[in-house]
Structure 1
Amino acid sequence: MFLLLWLTCFVVLPAQLATDPDIFAPKQPDAFMRLERVNTLVETGNWYDGHIARAAGAEGADIHWTRPMDLLILGVAAPLVPFMQTRQAIEIAGVALPALMSLILVFVCIWAVMPLMQPGNLFSIVILLAVQPIIQNYFGIGRVDHHMVLAVLTAAVLGYLIRLDKSGSNSRPALLAGILTGLGIWISLEFLVVYVPVTLGLGVCWLLWGTSWRRINRDFALGVGLACLAAVLVDVSPDNWLTARYDRISIAQLFLVSCPAVFWILVAKTSECGGTITARMVGAGLFAIVCLALIKFWYPGLFIGPEAEADPRIAAIWYDNVSEMLPLFTSIRKMILFCLLPFCGIVYGLFVLSGKRHQEQRHTWVLLSLVLVCTGALALAHMRTALYLSVAGVIAAGPLMEDVLNAVSARFSGWRKGATGLLVRAVIILGPFSLAVLVGAFANGLKPAAATTVTQAAETECTVRDIAGFLADDKFIQGRGVLRFANNLDYGPELIYRTRHHFLAVPYHRNGETILDTYDLMTAVEFSRSRDLLGKYGIDYILICPNASDETYFRKSAEASVLYNRLVNGDLPEELVPVEAAPKPWMLFEYRGNAM
């Protein structure tokens, strides 16, 4: 039954509802750049170099990703390689991987909540996962994105934490939870949003319940530390082992996760000598102050995060326009959609912690509640974090539903019991979505009648396959080899993947100079400024999609003299010549200034 539910909810229905006619193709810029990165690894064998040669400036685009996701794609592609070209096998593996990971997520979440739910109610977990919009987004077919792996790891870590042995005699769940947490940090430092509340939660359990939790904390911290040490040794070139980076695993993050390990191995036992919560709090507080001071002195960028590696000037022209980077609190509808179910989990957790029922689960709800509170607070400021909030929210909603259904069973019998149970499931599963729709409709209000009579013709979308085929044609290349293009930011990765040309703009924060220069080039009022930048990068063509989602990056002004507006309006400088044969609505302009 679980397989059928998964197939229906994560494959068949999304495929039927998809508006993209080419559903079984890579989606989103990151998917194309990830596949290009894997192809580059296969072609060059250069494990440590994360640059994409045909992107950004002369040295290529510096991509901060790590290798586990690349290896996962190669592992899925390996059985296909004997039957097709390696590049094709890698693409098929990437497209299919989200569906495979969604199946794994379903079974991991079911496994995670098994100690808290009756087997007959576990099917509800599949439906709860399926109605979370952010989970459907990140696990959509063709979206080759490491965040889906992080979601699975979140569920696995929480599952092991639910299985912790309070006596401390069995260290396996804590150690495995730590290793998986370290693997998540290796894949992306974004997983620190799970690591931090889990570490705090385990520390709170030690403060409340004493010595038996010291070993659990120690084993978890050792698991994280060993996994991060392995990550540095494997994923970082030896000459950079002592170089701190703040957007990928490095010595800085290894130091961060080592601090709790040192505390639990060397300091915690001393703090227990007083035998009171106060003594333990004093010991932990003093050690935390020392660690924070050392981090401030040696690795201050840890307090900033990945943005420490980015040029702060790109925030206003790029970050602030990316939907995943925006806060949730600006939209009541989205807050309900993403946060209502986790909030119910927090309330239920407080009920368990403050009541006399389920006392054997108190440590579970200390941990789950802290994860929900921390990821929820971050999601309000940064929408992407809602992925981890949704996974934790589903796991927390399982026992909540179980308790309510048990209360229904005790109160009703016969058809009333079945009908009420169905209503409870419907409210918990569909309630947030239904309420969000109602609130959205109320907030938007009814459109004026006059507005409904005005229709705009849908703009033709720019299809990269069309322009890529044109750019790859020998009639266009005419033996000139690799050509250089200035382009819309979000189209860069797919254009690089589908052609053999070089594209200036790609949406990755380490490449701030080329993002800024592309912005300056497109928004320049004086063409002399654009000319300088075109010459700096040896640009042969400017390629734009006039209805691209990222046009707002360049169209900051309606002033006719802005180059982007001049290109769209056909008011061209003499050095730019339109290529009329380019497929519409793409607009391609040859720059002849380099030949003058």
Structure 2
Amino acid sequence: MAGDNKVGVLPLFFCWALTAVAFVAKALSTAATVPLILDTDDAMRLTMVHDFLDGQGWFDLVQHRLNTPYGALMHWSRLIDLPEASLLFLLRPAFGAAADIALVYAWPLLLLVPLLWLTARLALRLGGRAALWPGLLLSSLSLITLVEFAPGRLDHHAVQILLALAMLWCAVVALERPRFALGAGVAAGAALTIGIESLPVVGATIMAFGLAWVATARQSVALRDFGLSFALSTLLGLAQGVPPGRWLVPAADAISGTYALAAILCGLAFLVLSLLPLRTVPVRLGAGLVAGAIAVALVVLSFPAILAGPYGQMDPWLLANWVDRISEAEPLWTSFASGPVYVVAVAVPVVTGLAVVAWNIVRRPQERGAWLVYGLVLTIAFVVMLLQIRAARFAVPLAAPACAALIGATWHRMVRTNGFGPILAMLGSVAASAGLIVAVFGTLVVAAFPAYDAGTIDPNRPGRQSCLMPAAFADLAGLPPERIMTPIDLGSHMLLYTPHAVVAAPYHRNEQGVLDTFRFFNGPIEEGRAILRARGIALVAICPAMSEVRGLVAHTADSFVSLFAAGTLPGWLREMSAAGAPLKVYSVEP
């Protein structure tokens, strides 16, 4: 039976190669119009990798050219910088100036291998051999894979997805092989260390091990091993990522003493519970609830700021006018109005996966434990996705193994049964499980309503993309280092492609820089001039297609935004950009 659970090198390589070729072909075909590094986080990540290779310290997470001239502390983990920097170091002798391009192709395509493998292993465990090929192929037909594992993607989300799948797979296998709980605990600690976006999946995994122990006392070994490995890996994550002087400084937006204490208490609680002779389900449930309540109370009493969440200490104006307007933080029903195709394409596979879970819980009592663990994690991921659409990056990959099991079952029935019913059932299972197929159907439906279709098209998108092409920064890159005021969404690319420093990029820890940027563009121009003077800003660079320049928030009649729209900027802003250039650059005259 052990051999039946192997993915196999040839199927894995075939599906990886097929997907990689498609991704590379897409990137090359759009290279003239779509920046390879499009997302601001990917640009900032590569900037941090450059700084790390240039000698910036492991514990020095300040982006010294951001919030100029003061610098801004980032909340990201070196655990992503290290492998990317190592790969870039190895690529530079062979590729020279093109090493960055080689990196942004190689890194996400390398991560595609464990994505396919983990999905297939979990599909095999849930659906048997018939689910192997669907498990390998569904990841390639997912919109999340198209975004998070495509060339140009350097941010940490792909690694978080892999760790979420590893947690879930280990949790399911640990029901029969308790030592796999160690892997789940290590993955959970690593996921929290890299970014707290993984917190809901980590919390769901903790609940899964706890409830599995409540259901049957023989899960005490897995409970203990998960708790101890989770606590230890989180402590190691804190030690490697935060200097000792800041271990007790509370932070809700990154690995900190707050999360380390929670992990330690979880580990201690699971250890004690595993050792107690609690013989009945009600007694174990009561003991677990008491232990959980004590752990939560101790964390809140020690670090009460955790109740306010990762943005709890931010300026209320920024929360209302910036953070709350981030499109990926919108609930699913709000996102549907502006991007129905994407929302449907990520929601349908997850709902399909949940339906498969429910069916198997009812119809396969011998496998009920595995499906209950799987269903708990997937349900929590789905609920979080309803509240914030960006959580689809977790929910959709986690749903793929269940969808693969469905396709495998319908295929098995089709080849054994005559008639059109089984054929239609198999085709329907594929259509409901593959986000790319759902997106194609959704696009056709939206196109049938031209008025609505036109309303969902952003006419400024090509202009924004042209501003983020490397060529747009060529002239600026040739100038000696200066301090530049840019729109917030232009800051990361300015840092990547030029030697200059900027006031803001879209990172909440740079609160003062973001506030000053909003005030410069939207407040009275003379107050904006005072901000430039205080920071020693020599240049102002804008992308006219960006929403910040077109009036993202309320602005005064004498603001930069208003004066630029009217073509009446003051004389102390002297344009120095070439005619037709994507970026407009102004020197700040005395």
Shared fold (TM-score, shorter chain, > 0.5): yes
One-letter amino acid matched to 1:115: R
Q: Quick one: percent identity of the two aligned structures?
A: 23
One-letter amino acid matched to 1:202: F
Does 1:385 pair with 2:385? no
CA contact (8 A) 2:109 2:149 kept: yes
Correspondence for 1:581: 578
Distance 1:372 1:422 in 2: 23
For normalisation by structure 1, the TM-score amounts to 0.88
CA contact (8 A) 1:401 1:428 kept: no
Which deviates more from structure 2 when the two are superposed, residues 534-543 or residues 110-119? 110-119
Where do residues 56-71 of structure 1 align in structure 2 (5 Å cutoff)?
56-71=67-82
One-letter amino acid matched to 2:513: T
Does 1:193 pair with 2:193? no
Distance 2:321 2:68 in 1: 19
Distance 1:321 1:291 in 2: 34
Indicate how the Cα distance of structure 1 residues 83 and 187 shifts in structure 2: closer, same or farther if over 3 A, else same.
same
Distance 1:350 1:550 in 2: 46
Indicate how the Cα distance of structure 1 residues 582 and 297 shifts in structure 2: closer, same or farther if over 3 A, else same.
farther
Distance 2:403 2:86 in 1: 34
CA contact (8 A) 2:134 2:408 kept: no
Indicate how the Cα distance of structure 1 residues 126 and 323 shifts in structure 2: closer, same or farther if over 3 A, else same.
farther
Q: Deviations over 1:372-423 (max 9, x none)?
A: 111111111112211110111001212222333334344338xx69955752
Distance 1:180 1:456 in 2: 42
Where do residues 2-401 of structure 1 align in structure 2 (5 Å cutoff)?
2-12=12-22, 15-16=25-26, 19-21=30-32, 25-83=36-94, 85=96, 89=99, 92-166=102-176, 170-209=177-216, 211-270=217-276, 272-273=277-278, 275-308=279-312, 310-330=314-334, 331=336, 333-355=341-363, 357=364, 359-401=365-407
One-letter amino acid matched to 2:239: L
One-letter amino acid matched to 1:340: V
Indicate how the Cα distance of structure 1 residues 456 and 468 shifts in structure 2: closer, same or farther if over 3 A, else same.
closer
Residue 75 (structure 1) shift: 3.0
User: Where does structure 1 differ by over 4 angstroms across 4 or more consecutive aligned residues?
Assistant: 332-335, 416-422, 432-445, 455-460, 557-560
Q: Deviations over 1:122-155 (max 9, x none)?
A: 1212321122212211112111111011111122
Indicate how the Cα distance of structure 1 residues 340 and 472 shifts in structure 2: closer, same or farther if over 3 A, else same.
closer
Residue 435 (structure 1) shift: 5.3
Q: Deviations over 1:225-279 (max 9, x none)?
A: 1111111121211222222222211111111112221112124544x53x22221
Distance 1:438 1:30 in 2: 31
Correspondence for 2:8: none
Residue 533 (structure 1) shift: 0.9
Distance 1:100 1:530 in 2: 46
Distance 1:38 1:459 in 2: 28
Correspondence for 2:566: 569
CA contact (8 A) 1:2 1:123 kept: no
Distance 1:339 1:37 in 2: 34
Distance 1:531 1:6 in 2: 53
SS in 1 for 2:54: helix
Distance 1:446 1:587 in 2: 37
Residue 586 (structure 1) shift: 2.0
CA contact (8 A) 1:582 1:588 kept: no
Which deviates more from structure 2 when the two are superposed, residues 113-122 or residues 293-302? 113-122
CA contact (8 A) 2:34 2:469 kept: no
Residue 471 (structure 1) shift: 1.5
Residue 459 (structure 1) shift: 6.4
Which deviates more from structure 2 when the two are superposed, residues 511-520 or residues 394-403? 394-403
Correspondence for 2:482: 483
SS in 2 for 1:485: strand
Task: Find the partner of 2:532 among 534, 544, 559.
Answer: 534
Indicate how the Cα distance of structure 1 residues 6 and 189 shifts in structure 2: closer, same or farther if over 3 A, else same.
same
5+ residue gaps, structure 1, are none
Which deviates more from structure 2 when the two are superposed, residues 528-537 or residues 514-523? 528-537
Distance 1:463 1:350 in 2: 45
Indicate how the Cα distance of structure 1 residues 107 and 434 shifts in structure 2: closer, same or farther if over 3 A, else same.
closer
Q: State the number of aligned residues.
A: 570
SS in 2 for 1:500: coil
Indicate how the Cα distance of structure 1 residues 501 and 433 shifts in structure 2: closer, same or farther if over 3 A, else same.
closer
Residue 15 (structure 1) shift: 2.8
CA contact (8 A) 1:404 1:424 kept: no
Indicate how the Cα distance of structure 1 residues 580 and 30 shifts in structure 2: closer, same or farther if over 3 A, else same.
closer
Which deviates more from structure 2 when the two are superposed, residues 101-110 or residues 60-69? 101-110
Does 1:543 pair with 2:541? yes
Residue 585 (structure 1) shift: 3.3
SS in 2 for 1:142: coil
